Protein backbone atom coordinates (compact mmCIF):
# COMPACT_ATOMS: atom_id res chain seq x y z
CA UNK A 1 0.00 0.00 0.00
CA UNK A 2 1.34 3.39 -1.00
CA UNK A 3 0.38 6.47 0.99
CA UNK A 4 1.12 10.00 -0.20
CA UNK A 5 0.95 13.21 1.81
CA UNK A 6 0.49 16.16 -0.52
CA UNK A 7 1.53 19.51 0.93
CA UNK A 8 2.98 22.91 0.06
CA UNK A 9 6.13 24.39 1.57
CA UNK A 10 5.23 26.49 4.58
CA UNK A 11 2.12 24.48 5.48
CA UNK A 12 1.96 24.44 9.29
CA UNK A 13 0.12 21.12 9.49
CA UNK A 14 1.65 18.56 7.15
CA UNK A 15 4.40 17.39 9.53
CA UNK A 16 1.80 16.84 12.25
CA UNK A 17 -0.36 14.98 9.74
CA UNK A 18 2.62 12.77 8.89
CA UNK A 19 3.23 12.01 12.57
CA UNK A 20 -0.45 11.19 13.12
CA UNK A 21 -0.48 8.94 10.07
CA UNK A 22 2.64 7.06 11.14
CA UNK A 23 1.16 6.59 14.62
CA UNK A 24 -2.06 5.16 13.18
CA UNK A 25 -0.16 2.84 10.86
CA UNK A 26 2.07 1.62 13.69
CA UNK A 27 -0.81 0.95 16.10
CA UNK A 28 -2.80 -0.79 13.38
CA UNK A 29 0.19 -2.94 12.38
CA UNK A 30 -0.19 -1.74 8.79
CA UNK A 31 2.73 -1.81 6.39
CA UNK A 32 2.73 1.11 3.99
CA UNK A 33 5.16 3.19 1.97
CA UNK A 34 4.66 6.82 3.02
CA UNK A 35 5.86 9.50 0.62
CA UNK A 36 5.78 13.29 0.85
CA UNK A 37 4.73 15.08 -2.35
CA UNK A 38 5.43 18.83 -2.53
CA UNK A 39 2.88 20.93 -4.46
CA UNK A 40 4.21 24.46 -4.75
CA UNK A 41 2.52 26.02 -7.77
CA UNK A 42 -1.10 26.47 -8.85
CA UNK A 43 -0.24 24.56 -12.03
CA UNK A 44 0.87 21.55 -9.98
CA UNK A 45 -2.22 21.88 -7.83
CA UNK A 46 -4.45 21.77 -10.90
CA UNK A 47 -2.59 18.82 -12.43
CA UNK A 48 -2.72 16.79 -9.20
CA UNK A 49 -6.26 17.95 -8.33
CA UNK A 50 -4.90 19.15 -5.01
CA UNK A 51 -7.73 20.22 -2.65
CA UNK A 52 -5.42 21.62 0.01
CA UNK A 53 -2.57 20.88 2.39
CA UNK A 54 -2.25 18.34 3.85
CA UNK A 55 -3.99 15.77 1.62
CA UNK A 56 -3.63 12.04 2.28
CA UNK A 57 -3.97 9.60 -0.60
CA UNK A 58 -3.92 5.80 -0.54
CA UNK A 59 -2.84 4.27 -3.85
CA UNK A 60 -3.88 7.50 -5.57
CA UNK A 61 -7.29 7.81 -3.87
CA UNK A 62 -8.05 10.63 -1.43
CA UNK A 63 -8.51 9.08 2.01
CA UNK A 64 -11.07 11.75 2.91
CA UNK A 65 -12.93 12.36 -0.32
CA UNK A 66 -13.92 15.88 -1.37
CA UNK A 67 -16.14 17.20 -4.19
CA UNK A 68 -14.46 17.96 -7.50
CA UNK A 69 -14.01 21.60 -8.38
CA UNK A 70 -13.34 23.43 -11.61
CA UNK A 71 -10.16 25.04 -10.35
CA UNK A 72 -7.51 23.92 -7.89
CA UNK A 73 -4.99 26.20 -6.20
CA UNK A 74 -2.59 26.22 -3.28
CA UNK A 75 -4.31 26.53 0.07
CA UNK A 76 -4.82 24.94 3.46
CA UNK A 77 -7.23 22.09 4.04
CA UNK A 78 -9.46 21.90 7.10
CA UNK A 79 -10.94 18.76 8.63
CA UNK A 80 -14.11 18.74 10.71
CA UNK A 81 -13.26 16.29 13.48
CA UNK A 82 -15.04 15.25 16.68
CA UNK A 83 -12.82 17.79 18.47
CA UNK A 84 -13.73 20.61 16.07
CA UNK A 85 -11.97 22.04 13.01
CA UNK A 86 -8.34 20.99 12.60
CA UNK A 87 -5.70 21.46 9.95
CA UNK A 88 -5.07 17.70 9.86
CA UNK A 89 -7.00 14.47 10.50
CA UNK A 90 -7.09 13.32 14.11
CA UNK A 91 -6.25 9.67 14.98
CA UNK A 92 -9.94 8.82 15.55
CA UNK A 93 -10.75 9.99 12.03
CA UNK A 94 -9.03 7.02 10.45
CA UNK A 95 -11.39 4.53 12.09
CA UNK A 96 -11.31 1.11 10.40
CA UNK A 97 -9.84 2.41 7.16
CA UNK A 98 -6.57 0.53 7.61
CA UNK A 99 -7.84 -2.72 9.09
CA UNK A 100 -8.73 -4.57 5.91
CA UNK A 101 -6.25 -3.13 3.46
CA UNK A 102 -6.54 -0.66 0.64
CA UNK A 103 -9.78 -1.97 -0.88
CA UNK A 104 -11.67 -1.55 2.39
CA UNK A 105 -10.13 1.89 2.90
CA UNK A 106 -11.39 3.02 -0.50
CA UNK A 107 -14.80 1.44 0.07
CA UNK A 108 -15.24 3.17 3.42
CA UNK A 109 -14.14 6.51 2.01
CA UNK A 110 -16.57 6.29 -0.90
CA UNK A 111 -19.63 4.97 0.91
CA UNK A 112 -19.12 6.51 4.32
CA UNK A 113 -21.02 3.52 5.71
CA UNK A 114 -19.13 3.27 8.97
CA UNK A 115 -19.73 5.87 11.66
CA UNK A 116 -15.99 5.92 12.27
CA UNK A 117 -15.29 6.40 8.58
CA UNK A 118 -17.19 9.68 8.44
CA UNK A 119 -15.98 11.17 11.71
CA UNK A 120 -13.58 13.33 9.73
CA UNK A 121 -14.69 15.19 6.65
CA UNK A 122 -13.27 18.14 4.80
CA UNK A 123 -14.79 21.52 5.45
CA UNK A 124 -14.85 23.59 2.24
CA UNK A 125 -15.83 27.26 2.50
CA UNK A 126 -18.71 28.30 0.23
CA UNK A 127 -16.40 30.47 -1.88
CA UNK A 128 -14.45 27.52 -3.27
CA UNK A 129 -17.17 24.93 -3.68
CA UNK A 130 -17.59 23.76 -7.25
CA UNK A 131 -19.95 25.99 -9.18
CA UNK A 132 -20.36 28.65 -6.51
CA UNK A 133 -17.78 31.16 -7.71
CA UNK A 134 -18.40 34.00 -10.08
CA UNK A 135 -16.12 34.38 -13.06
CA UNK A 136 -13.63 37.24 -12.82
CA UNK A 137 -11.81 37.05 -16.12
CA UNK A 138 -9.67 40.18 -15.75
CA UNK A 139 -8.74 39.73 -12.11
CA UNK A 140 -8.11 37.03 -9.56
CA UNK A 141 -10.81 35.81 -7.19
CA UNK A 142 -11.40 38.15 -4.26
CA UNK A 143 -13.52 36.95 -1.34
CA UNK A 144 -14.39 39.09 1.68
CA UNK A 145 -15.68 37.35 4.82
CA UNK A 146 -17.72 39.76 6.91
CA UNK A 147 -19.96 40.02 9.95
CA UNK A 148 -23.05 42.19 9.96
CA UNK A 149 -23.07 45.40 12.01
CA UNK A 150 -19.28 45.77 11.65
CA UNK A 151 -18.25 49.18 10.39
CA UNK A 152 -14.87 47.80 9.31
CA UNK A 153 -16.60 45.27 7.08
CA UNK A 154 -18.68 48.05 5.54
CA UNK A 155 -15.56 50.17 5.01
CA UNK A 156 -13.58 47.43 3.27
CA UNK A 157 -16.45 46.67 0.90
CA UNK A 158 -16.63 50.35 -0.03
CA UNK A 159 -12.83 50.55 -0.29
CA UNK A 160 -12.57 47.64 -2.74
CA UNK A 161 -15.63 48.71 -4.72
CA UNK A 162 -14.35 52.26 -5.25
CA UNK A 163 -11.14 50.87 -6.71
CA UNK A 164 -13.03 48.85 -9.29
CA UNK A 165 -12.40 45.40 -7.86
CA UNK A 166 -15.11 42.79 -8.08
CA UNK A 167 -15.41 40.60 -5.02
CA UNK A 168 -17.65 38.04 -3.37
CA UNK A 169 -18.99 38.80 0.10
CA UNK A 170 -19.64 35.91 2.48
CA UNK A 171 -21.55 36.64 5.67
CA UNK A 172 -20.06 34.68 8.58
CA UNK A 173 -22.22 36.30 11.27
CA UNK A 174 -24.20 33.18 12.12
CA UNK A 175 -21.67 30.56 10.98
CA UNK A 176 -19.45 29.71 13.95
CA UNK A 177 -17.78 26.87 12.05
CA UNK A 178 -16.74 29.21 9.26
CA UNK A 179 -15.41 31.77 11.75
CA UNK A 180 -13.44 29.02 13.48
CA UNK A 181 -11.96 27.96 10.15
CA UNK A 182 -10.93 31.53 9.34
CA UNK A 183 -9.38 32.08 12.77
CA UNK A 184 -7.41 28.85 12.48
CA UNK A 185 -5.98 29.75 9.08
CA UNK A 186 -5.32 33.44 9.59
CA UNK A 187 -4.65 33.71 13.32
CA UNK A 188 -7.17 36.55 13.56
CA UNK A 189 -10.66 36.43 15.02
CA UNK A 190 -11.94 39.83 13.91
CA UNK A 191 -13.68 40.51 10.63
CA UNK A 192 -13.32 41.34 7.83
CA UNK A 193 -11.02 38.72 6.36
CA UNK A 194 -9.96 39.10 2.73
CA UNK A 195 -8.78 36.28 0.49
CA UNK A 196 -7.14 37.00 -2.86
CA UNK A 197 -6.61 34.03 -5.16
CA UNK A 198 -7.48 31.67 -2.25
CA UNK A 199 -4.83 33.20 0.02
CA UNK A 200 -5.55 35.23 3.16
CA UNK A 201 -4.13 38.75 2.99
CA UNK A 202 -5.62 40.31 6.13
CA UNK A 203 -8.30 42.80 7.06
CA UNK A 204 -8.97 46.48 6.51
CA UNK A 205 -5.60 47.77 7.79
CA UNK A 206 -3.62 45.25 5.74
CA UNK A 207 -5.61 45.97 2.57
CA UNK A 208 -5.03 49.71 2.98
CA UNK A 209 -1.28 49.13 3.50
CA UNK A 210 -1.13 46.93 0.39
CA UNK A 211 -2.92 49.63 -1.61
CA UNK A 212 -0.52 52.34 -0.44
CA UNK A 213 2.48 50.26 -1.46
CA UNK A 214 1.01 49.39 -4.86
CA UNK A 215 0.99 45.68 -4.02
CA UNK A 216 -2.79 45.30 -3.93
CA UNK A 217 -3.18 45.96 -7.66
CA UNK A 218 -0.54 43.34 -8.44
CA UNK A 219 -2.13 40.78 -6.13
CA UNK A 220 -5.56 41.26 -7.69
CA UNK A 221 -4.68 41.74 -11.35
CA UNK A 222 -1.05 40.71 -11.74
CA UNK A 223 -0.52 37.87 -14.21
CA UNK A 224 -4.17 37.81 -15.35
pLDDT at 112: 38
125, 113, 7: which is closest to 66 by C-alpha? 125
- Is domain 127-221 classified as CATH 3.40.30.10? yes
Residue 216, helix vs strand vs coil: helix
Where do you find CATH 3.40.30.10 in the chain? 127-221
Name the band, by pLDDT with cuts 50, 70 and 90, for residue 120: very low
Provide φ and ψ at 97, rounded to 5°: -60, -30
Average pLDDT, the chain: 76
3-state secondary structure 144-207: EEECCCCHHHHHHHHHHHHCCCCCEEEECCCCHHHHHHHHHHHCCCCCCEEEECCEEEECHHHH
pTM recorded for the entire structure: 0.51
2-124 fold:
Glutaredoxin (3.40.30)
pLDDT tens per residue, range 83-108: 665 778 888 777 655 554 444 444 44
In the chain, % helix, strand, coil (3-state, to 5) comes to: 35, 20, 45
pLDDT tens per residue, range 1-17: 889 999 988 787 889 89
pLDDT tens per residue, range 164-212: 888 888 888 888 888 888 887 777 788 999 988 878 888 999 999 999 9
Amino acid sequence: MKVEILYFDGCPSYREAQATLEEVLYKGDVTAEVRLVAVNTDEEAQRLRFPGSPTLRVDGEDLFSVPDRARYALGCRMYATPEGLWGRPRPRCFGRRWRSGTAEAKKSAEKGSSSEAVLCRVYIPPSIESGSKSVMADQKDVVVYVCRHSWRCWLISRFLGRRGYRFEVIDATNDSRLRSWLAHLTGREKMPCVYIDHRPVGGLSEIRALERSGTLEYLVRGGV
